[in-house]
Each structure stands twice: as structure tokens, then as C-alpha cells.
């Protein structure tokens, strides 16, 4: 039986259509369509650098948490060490998947946990912009990540977003009862695709390998 992949980044791309700033809905929709059709996104240098910074930050955190020998980072050492302290003893980049049936379709929910230890899932986020006067509280309230990951790891007791700009660390955490279920989210996603004649595009491009 065919199964179709659901990832947090696919759902995030869809939800961004609702979450983006006024006037950016068209570009958010374009970006979502690229993701839906699995077309490589064209990135400018700044976007590439931002992604690269995030990868570099995470790698430094994992390396520090694992107790590997490393040179202090010239810009982000304080954020790296503070997050690494929270992740000591964790397993990193743990791949998880689980089937779910919604609206008569069998989906394969797939995710990679940044860190897992003692029933706590942690996700490391790097902000390219200094926290400064940003107001981060509630930034992840509507994220599909923790609902999907609680479905993927039903024995998890807590999901923590560990956010850093390299200097400071902001933590936002959720418990399993704090969010909509994965099934609800996926149902809304299917309804959106159906209403916009995009369900076929999804089914063509997101079939899971058996």
C-alpha cells in the first residue's frame, strides 16, 4: 500500500503561508509550491550563509556536548557551551518515523530529532539576528514540529526548543498535552491541499519508498 511522507519542514512551509507578514503571502505560497513539488529552492548568498551558520552552530554544539576536542568558536562560544551543557549524554540526529492514517490516506511521518535523552526531545535553533529587542516568547507555539515529534516519540515527556543567537539562549518547551495532535494537523493540511487542487501534486511527489 502506498504511503506518503509528512515532515515538519513540509508542514512548516505550508503554515508559513498563514504566518508570513502581510504582502508576502504570494512568495510564501511560491516557496510552499517549490517544497510540494520537491524542486530545489533558489537561494541567494545571504540565505545560503544563514543556513550555513545554522549548520555550523549545531555541529559545534554537538561536538562540545560529546566532549570532543575543539577550538573555541570566535563568535558564538557562549551560546554553544550553554546549549551543549543541556545536551550532554544525549543521542544526536536520531531518525524516527511512524505511520498514521488520516482521511483514508496512509502517511509516513518522518523526522530527525536533534537530540534525545531520557524522554526529552531537544531541537537546536540558531538565530542569525541578535536577540536584541526581539520578542521570542511564543515563537514556536504554532510550530508543527513538536506535535509531529510527540507523535513520532509517544514516550517523550517534553519537547524543548533551544534557541541561541550565539550569545544568549532562549528556551521554549512544550508537553504532549500542550499542542494539537499530529492527526489534526495532517487533516488540515489535506483539506488545504484538496481545496487548492494540490492533493495530486502532493501524492505524486511525496510517496515514500517502500
Partner 1 sequence: MIVNPENMSFDGKKFSMILYGSPGIGKTTLALSAPDPVLIDFDRGMSRVRSQHRKAAIFCDTYEDVLNDLASPDMKQFQTIVVDTGGSFITYLQDWAMRADPKVNCQKNGAISLKGFGAVKMEFSRFTSYVKDTLNKNLIYVFHSLEQMDKDGNPQVRLMCEGAAKNIVWTPCDFGGYVQMIGDRRDVCFTPEQEFFAKGCHGIKGHWTIPELGPADTNDFITKLFDKAKANIAAEAEEYAPLKEQYDRVMETVHQILDTVKDEESANRALQDIPNLAHALTSKRESSAMLSERAKSLGLVYSKSAGAFVPKEEKEA
Chain-centre distance for alpha carbon 106: 22
118 is a contact residue toward partner 1 (CB under 8 A): yes
* Binding mask of the shown chain, residues 39 to 78, with x at each position contacting partner 1 by CB under 8 A: ----------------------------------------
Cβ closest to partner 1, residue 161 vs residue 202: 161
User: Judged by CB under 8 A, does residue 131 bind partner 1?
Assistant: yes
> Distance between CA 184 and CA 189 in Å, rounded?
9
DSSP letters along 59-87, please? HHHHHHHTT---PPPTTTHHHHHHHHHHT
Q: How far is the CB of 134 from partner 1 (least distance, A)?
A: 7
Stretch that binds partner 1, among 3-11, 57-65, 137-145, 199-207 (CB under 8 A): 137-145
Q: Counting contacts by CB under 8 A, is residue 34 touching partner 1?
A: no
Q: How far is the CB of 38 from partner 1 (least distance, A)?
A: 23
Give the Å distances, CA to CA, from 43 to 25, 33, 51, 52: 18, 15, 10, 12
DSSP code of residue 144:
S
Amino acid at each position: 500500500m502506498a504511503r506518503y511522507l509528512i515532515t515538519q519542514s513540509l508542514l512548516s512551509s505550508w503554515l508559513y503561508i498563514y504566518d508570513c507578514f502581510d504582502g508576502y503571502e504570494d512568495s510564501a505560497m511560491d516557496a510552499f509550491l517549490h517544497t510540494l513539488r520537491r524542486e530545489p529552492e533558489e537561494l541567494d548568498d545571504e540565505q545560503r550563509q544563514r543556513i550555513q551558520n545554522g549548520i555550523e552552530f549545531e555541529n559545534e554544539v554537538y561536538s562540545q556536548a560529546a566532549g570532543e576536542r575543539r577550538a573555541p568558536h570566535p563568535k558564538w562560544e557562549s551560546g554553544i557551551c550553554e546549549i551543549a551543557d543541556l545536551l550532554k549524554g544525549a543521542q544526536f540526529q536520531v531518525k524516527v518515523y511512524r505511520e498514521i492514517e488520516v482521511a483514508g490516506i496512509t502517511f509516513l511521518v518522518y523526522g530527525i530529532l536533534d537530540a534525545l535523552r531520557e524522554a526529552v526531545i531537544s531541537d537546536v535553533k540558531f538565530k542569525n539576528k541578535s536577540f536584541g529587542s526581539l520578542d521570542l516568547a511564543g515563537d514556536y507555539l504554532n510550530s508543527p514540529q513538536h506535535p509531529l515529534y510527540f507523535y513520532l516519540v509517544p514516550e517523550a515527556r517534553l519537547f524543548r526548543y533551544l534557541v541561541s543567537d550565539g550569545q544568549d539562549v532562549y528556551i521554549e518547551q512544550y508537553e504532549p498535552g500542550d499542542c494539537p495532535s499530529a492527526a489534526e494537523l495532517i487533516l488540515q493540511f489535506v483539506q488545504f491541499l484538496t481545496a487548492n487542487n494540490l492533493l495530486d501534486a502532493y501524492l505524486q511527489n511525496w510517496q515514500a519508498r517502500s
